[in-house]
Homo-oligomer: A and B are copies of this chain.
Amino acid sequence: MPSDQQSEHSDQPVDELDAKLLLLLTDEPRLGVLECSRRLGVARGTVQARLDRLVERGVLTGFPPAVDLGAMGYGLTAFATVEIAQGRRAEVCEGLAAISEVCEVHATTGQGDLFVRMVARSNADLQRVVDHIVDVPHVRRLSTSIALSTPVPPRVRPLLERVKGRPPK
């Protein structure tokens, strides 16, 4: 028997209405609860309840402002694979986190390596950032590659759209 669960059966974390709501908000995030209810053809209370539950379940974590770093002057995005000294991940991550231009770090399988996404204002600036990373203690090797384009920008949409296809009985 699995661990704790309030209603382990039927309930998938997100049903079709939830998905529709999330898709609607994806397209027009500033919509209010009332407007959402109108668009979805349900009562306002329902939308309110759904939203609350999505937040409760941790599915919807918020509505952070999407800032275009390019428009802010950081026109370059680069990825780096970082090889580090065994057992020093925490320290290295701390060092990386201290670098403003480091926008994301993942620990990945492979050889206990880290994967880093960073931005820079120019090639020269990227050089500086890379040097900064290399200077982080316990960083052994750094392999950088620059993003030339982003054919598929970060998205969740398809996953949400697929929920629609679920047996709405």
Chain B residues, Cβ within 8 Å of A77: 106
Binary B-proximity of A138-150 (CB < 8 A = 1, otherwise 0): 0000000111111
- Tally A residues with Cβ within 8 Å of B: 67
Do the beta carbons of B64 and A59 come within 8 Å of each other?
no
A153 interface contact, C-beta 8 A: yes
The CA-CA distance from A70 to B114 in the complex, in Å, is 20
9 contacts between A and B (CB under 8 A): A29-B62, A29-B64, A59-B71, A60-B68, A61-B67, A101-B158, A102-B152, A106-B149, A106-B150
Where the two chains meet, the residues of A that have a C-beta atom closer than 8 Å to any C-beta of B are 12-14, 22, 25-26, 29-30, 57-74, 77, 79, 89-90, 93, 96-97, 99-110, 113-115, 117, 119, 145-156, 158-162
